[in-house]
Chain A
Amino acid sequence: MSARTPLHLAAEIGGPPHYDAGHYLRLARLAEGGALDYVTLGDSFARPGLDALAVLARVAPATDRIGLVPTVTTTHTEPFHVSSAVASLDWVSNGRAGWHADVSTTEAEARLFGRRSAAPPAALWQEAGEVADVSARLWDSWEDDAEIRDTATGRFIDRDKLHYVDFEGSTFSVRGPAIVPRPPQGRPVTVIDATSAPARAAAARHADVVHIRATTPEQAAAVREELRAGAAAHGRDPDALRVLVALTVDLGDVETAPEPGLESGPQLAGRGTYFRGGPVDLADLIAQWHRAGAADGFHLTPITPERDLERIVNGTVALLQHRSLFRTFHPGGTLREHLGLVRPASRYAAPKAAAASSASSKEA
């Protein structure tokens, strides 16, 4: 990997729950001011907190550029609803939506729904992969130019450009098409946290962005290569995958820390490696790992978002910007643009060249 590859940065804004929009809005705007690629907001049926996708929908009109990536669990939620809600978040944010796919492993969560028992993570991640798959198909099920508003024929849509997905998963099936027209990004960004082994296969196959855990740049580079190889094995372009190292970050009480850097210590909030130190130490670590080609970027989970996100943005990010290692503004408008990911064509659309040649053969 070239050292000139753009650096991508994201931050988690969850933490102890808040039940008002203002708290999350302040944090999202702070991250937006730092030109971060996206914020994530964790969610689980197992602990107190508002529905994360709803919170980020509330944040969307009050922000302009920052990507919005809520956790959406696939174990108990209908796949069709997952797809519709994420597509709708993309519409209300004008193309800034992603979703962090996750699973619900506990019996306590299963009892909240009363529909199925808890299952092993491997089975749940297979299902989560299928939900990611059917969601992407549903997002493709309307071609971009399906809406024609053709007064001459009285047709609002060209129904040949709407498609049944007829998806048969191991635990569910979906007929389609989507009820929501194709979202602004084509497909909102799918993020999978592959710090747990059962998630890794789904990540290689379905994710646009993968969060990984590593304690050295070499280890990060190795995991990244493994994921890229996995993506390629599924017929994907490995360069369309962004691999971000997940760090749980404690920027408080620097004086008392024996030595800044990574620790194998408590993993309080996130699933990544634990970092303790000052904002400058964190900037040094990010710069050094990125220069070494370890990753495409970092997903930072501050242990105390109200305190540490401000230090990340005004300390760490400002320093990286000063060293010309990170952008100072968002040149693009969509999350895909921030990440350098192309807007995918619908898999159901006739290839452009073929469509053009058939048009010309008709003319001839």
Chain B
Amino acid sequence: MPRTMHLAAHFPGVNATTVWADPRSRSQIDFSSFVHLARTAERGKFDFFFLAEGLRLREHNGRVHDLDVVGRPESLTVLNALAAVTERLGLAATVNATFNEPYELARRLATLDHLSEGRAAWNVVTSSDAFTGENFRRGGYLDRADRYNRAAEFVATARELWDSWTPDGESRPFAHDGEQFTISGEFTVPRSPQGHPVVIQAGDSSEGREFAASAADIIFTRHGTLDAGRIFYADVKARLAAYGRQPDDLKIMPGVTVVVGDTDAEAQEQAYEIRRQQVSPQNAILAAEQLWGTDLSAYDPDGPLPEIDPVIDSGLVKGRVLHGDPFAVVARWREIAAAKGLSLRQTVIETTTRQSFIGSPQTVAAELTAFVDERAADGFILVPHLTPGGLDDFVDRVVPLLQESGAFRSEYSGSTLRSHLGLAEPVWKG
């Protein structure tokens, strides 16, 4: 019998993974798109539906980035509305701990948990950039350590608020006096159906892992390969004991992309076509500009790579995370382009991260199952490339195979997200 896995649906994001030029692509903002994907996920008996957040539109070279999907509604409002059109599906909101206050956010999350009868989750993220801060009273900048200090104290404070009513409905005053927050009074919401909404931590850094081990129920990771996943999994699970927690108390769920075809070969063709769609000629220039750190608008995407050196810390790109040493990456791109005779755009397509799982329904189901059996993950957050129908094929063709083999549930056994995840209700600390 395989280990049973957990599955979540990520609404397509405001980045180049999401293909908007496909004729099947629909609105990223109409409520009907959210309903479609959430109902698809619930039909597939998924654990939860996931919404990302960004508090400032991304910029490139001092202007709003215009090549990817832009704009989305605020997460918690959408999830409260989705609670009306779904019954069992968990509802996870990404909400920033830097630009919110514990009292108000704990209240909004407890409200979602009440209105959804125990299906709320909070993906805790932090920001350190003054760029996003320009939209907020607090403005300014937090250094990296302070981000996690604030996030950790934020989560601990929220838990104090969620515990401030007794389980039998009596409100008690709270007082929190810490480095980041000094607050007191009465919480306006009784203990919610899950006790505490499920807490998700996104981020792979050492501080992030430690924070997750101490305080989160789920870690949303980027580690998409089997080997990297196993190392990450072992590392994170080993950190739990120090906090008096069991390995099963923290679920590891990488964000993954899946392409399903009739055959493995057809799926590979589709996967290449999706990557080609993701890298339009304009996006190829943009990807190169992000790497080189300078204006490359004069270059032809169908021509050779720029011969100039990358520029470090040019400030060209705002509101997105960069990875790796630009000189090393440029050198690798040049090798690939020379070896295969590729243009700039073809090189970007070639170096774009391949989808995590590509194949026939049988292949994809087997690989997902192996990933979980070999302890590279406890489940997956699926990131579709199309709004809103991007998980239709997965739910119709892969989920039944997973259910048949016992790798995934055929029915929900409980009504709360905690019950889907096999997480205990938190002990009340009055």
Contact = CB atoms under 8 A, between A and B. Distances in A.
Contacts of A216: none
A94 B31 contact: yes
Contact of A80 (B20, B136, B181): B136
Contacts of A60: 81, 84
20 contacts: A19-B190, A48-B190, A51-B108, A58-B115, A78-B136, A80-B55, A84-B74, A85-B74, A85-B77, A88-B73, A88-B77, A94-B31, A114-B181, A156-B69, A157-B64, A162-B64, A172-B137, A174-B135, A178-B71, A180-B74
Interface of B: 20-21, 29-31, 35, 54-57, 63-64, 66-74, 76-78, 80-85, 99-101, 103-104, 107-108, 111-112, 114-115, 117, 134-137, 139, 171, 181-185, 188-190, 280-283
Given A88-B77, A153-B282, A179-B56, 16 more contacts: A44-B188, A47-B188, A48-B190, A49-B189, A51-B108, A57-B80, A58-B84, A61-B82, A78-B137, A92-B78, A112-B103, A154-B281, A156-B20, A158-B66, A159-B63, A180-B73
B194 to A, nearest CB: 13
A115 B180 CA distance: 11
A176 interface: yes
A3 B139 CA distance: 51
B78 A50 contact: no
Contacts of A47: 188
A154 B20 contact: no
A348 interface: no
Contacts of B83: 21, 58
Looking at A21, A80, A156, A175, the one whose CB has the most chain B CB atoms below 10 A away is: A156
A45 B103 contact: yes
A181 to B, nearest CB: 4
A155 interface: yes
B77 A50 contact: no
A53 B77 contact: yes
Interface residues of A, number: 65
A61 B81 contact: yes
Interface string A146-171: 01010101111111001000000001
Nearest to B117: A20
Contacts of B54: 179
A61 B190 contact: no
B288 to A, nearest CB: 14
A111 interface: yes
B171 A88 contact: no
A147 B71 contact: yes
> Is chain B's binding surface mostly helix, strand, loop or mixed?
loop
Contacts of B66: 155-159
B134 A175 contact: yes
Contacts of A173: 134, 139
B111 A54 contact: yes
A39 interface: no
A24 to B, nearest CB: 9
A57 to B, nearest CB: 4
A181 B107 CA distance: 26
Contacts of A156: 20, 66-70
B103 A92 contact: no
A177 interface: yes
A104 to B, nearest CB: 11
A351 to B, nearest CB: 23
B77 A61 contact: no
Contact of A111 (B63, B64, B69, B183): B183
A176 B209 CA distance: 33
Contacts of B55: 80, 179
B64 A21 contact: no
Nearest to A73: B104
Which among B56, B66, B139, B189 has the highest number of chain A CB atoms within 10 Å? B66
A269 to B, nearest CB: 17
A267 B375 CA distance: 63
Contacts of B188: 44-50
A340 B343 CA distance: 58
Given A78-B136, A175-B134, A177-B57, A155 B76 contact: no
Contacts of B80: 54-55, 57-58
A61 to B, nearest CB: 4
Contacts of B114: 19-20, 50
Contacts of B281: 154
B183 A176 contact: no
A358 B80 CA distance: 45
A38 interface: no
B41 to A, nearest CB: 16
B280 to A, nearest CB: 4
Given A162-B64, A177-B64, A155 B189 contact: no
